[in-house]
Amino acid sequence: MASKTPGVMSCHALPSPCRPTLATVERRKRQLTDGERTQLATAARFARHTGTPSMKELARAWKISPQSLYDIINRQRLTGSAAALPRSGRPSVLTDADETVLAELSEELDGEYTWEEIKKRFNEKTEKEVSTATVFRFCKNRGWRECSASLEDAQGLLPCSLPHSL
């Protein structure tokens, strides 16, 4: 006799619409992108209709608070978009397009470079004038390198452990 399927599945046995990507789970302090928010809202809608998993389990799998999950769901319900709202403060100097340029430079240099060198190449390629500290912070915030090293350590060669899956 076959056993019954449990009413609520664990997060690890989630159907693919509810599973976050590895990059989403390992994002550290980075905000969810608009695409990730849309994927999460779709997963939450799927979870509500099927009853598996609970919203709390879904929030835990995506490593966000349940309140954040409900905020994203409500934003999509009210505005038709789960995209993040504009934030106050100074706009970022580097854009998502610049992330692609930095990824290409990292692959080109095979992870062996000084921060000064990658800043110089980045400035030549994009015709922007950014500081070494800006490039360092951008890479660090994206989780492309170990966070234990500081900018003072950046005088020597530091590998950029960029996940080349952009």
| pLDDT at 128 exceeding the cut of 70 | yes
Query: 105-131 in b/e burial notation, b at 16+ Cβ within 10 A?
Result: bbeeeeeebebeebbebbeeeeeeeee
pTM of the model: 0.47
How do residues 131-162 score in pLDDT, each as one tens digit?
Answer: 999 888 888 877 776 433 444 454 444 445 44
pLDDT at residue 26 in the model: 65
